[in-house]
Chains A and B, each alone.
Chain A
Amino acid sequence: MKRHWYDYLWIASALYLILGFFNIMFAWLGMLCFMIPLLIAVFGKSKAYCNRYCGRGQLFQLLGGKLKLSRNSEIPRFIKSKTFRYGFLIFFLAMFISMLFNTYLVFAGRELSHKVTLLWTFKLPWHWACHGTVFAPWVVQFAYGFYSIMLTSTLLGVVTMLLFKPRSWCVYCPMGTMTQLICKARNRKELN
């Protein structure tokens, strides 16, 4: 099949994760993978982001497919159930809000924590990725919080890539679920 420029966006996704080890401020770039899919869903009424551009999906496909790291077996029924997918989306949004609140607390004067929180539980020291004081503490705190979310979701995605099919993460990816719901709402008429 013909290759397009957007078939290489997995490089950007991999680079993003790597850069976060060197300078946490790169985490802010992740806002692109939050804003673009939502804008495409709301204004383009499509899931072109998932279907074409998402580098994370491509990365999992590459690891699980080309590099054959995936067992390629069926995902458990409960993970693809609407209850789990919507539940995970709500949980994810709640964690996102809590991250924003933490950012606010630092804005309001609390001390900045130089840690990356994995799986919403494990706090890993990550001070080496923070350099100097050019940015306000809350800006740095947001970077740590955002990178924590990205690293956590990548970790979950890697585990389900290994266990099930390469792009298993896409079954319960909060962004995928959210854009599908937006498309449902935006295309109500055509769908009936």
Chain B
Amino acid sequence: MAVVKARRKAIVDKNACVACGCCVKVCPRGAISVFKGVYAAVDIGKCIGCGKCKTACPASVIGIGEVQA
């Protein structure tokens, strides 16, 4: 049986992101960056789902959820 790995990762609501970069400053893994000055993008491979970005985000647009990787 194939095992689908589900891991907890940061998920950004791109449309509501204000691109301030607060999340980038706190990420211990360098897993999140502001893409083209418009929204934060998560590198799923690097993210460990620690939630630091979620706590820092002033707009509260980051969630931590299961992402298939």
Q: Give A residues with C-beta under 8 Å from B.
A: 1, 41, 45-48, 50-52, 57, 61, 72, 74-75, 80, 85, 164-171, 176-177, 179-180, 182-184, 186-187, 190-191
A51-B24 CB under 8 A given contacts A164-B58, A166-B58, A176-B19: yes
Q: Are B58 and A180 in contact (CB under 8 A)?
A: no
B window 12-69: CB within 8 A of A: 16, 18-22, 24-25, 28, 34, 36-38, 55-61
Bound together, the chains give a CA A14 to CA B19 distance in angstroms of 23
A13 to chain B, nearest CB (A): 16
Q: Are B18 and A85 in contact (CB under 8 A)?
A: yes
Q: Are B22 and A167 in contact (CB under 8 A)?
A: yes
| Number of residues on chain B facing chain A (CB within 8 A) | 20
Between-chain CB contacts (< 8 Å), 7 pairs: A50-B21, A51-B34, A72-B55, A80-B59, A165-B58, A171-B59, A190-B36
Q: Are B20 and A176 in contact (CB under 8 A)?
A: yes
A45-B36, A47-B19, A171-B59 given; 14 more Cβ-contact pairs under 8 Å: A1-B25, A47-B20, A72-B55, A75-B59, A75-B60, A80-B61, A165-B57, A165-B58, A165-B60, A179-B37, A183-B38, A184-B38, A186-B37, A191-B38
Name A's interface SS: helix
Q: Are A187 and B36 in contact (CB under 8 A)?
A: yes
Bound together, the chains give a CA A138 to CA B38 distance in angstroms of 38
Bound together, the chains give a CA A12 to CA B20 distance in angstroms of 19
B68 to chain A, nearest CB (A): 25
| B55 neighbours in A (Cβ, 8 Å) | 72
Bound together, the chains give a CA A184 to CA B58 distance in angstroms of 21
Bound together, the chains give a CA A170 to CA B56 distance in angstroms of 12
Q: Are A46 and B36 in contact (CB under 8 A)?
A: yes
Bound together, the chains give a CA A98 to CA B22 distance in angstroms of 32
Contact of B38 among A165, A168, A170, A187 (CB under 8 A): A187
Bound together, the chains give a CA A61 to CA B18 distance in angstroms of 16
| B58 neighbours in A (Cβ, 8 Å) | 75, 164-171
| B20 neighbours in A (Cβ, 8 Å) | 47, 50-51, 57, 167, 170-171, 176
B42 to chain A, nearest CB (A): 15
User: Which has the most chain A C-beta neighbours within 10 Å: B18, B34, B61?
Assistant: B18
Bound together, the chains give a CA A77 to CA B60 distance in angstroms of 9
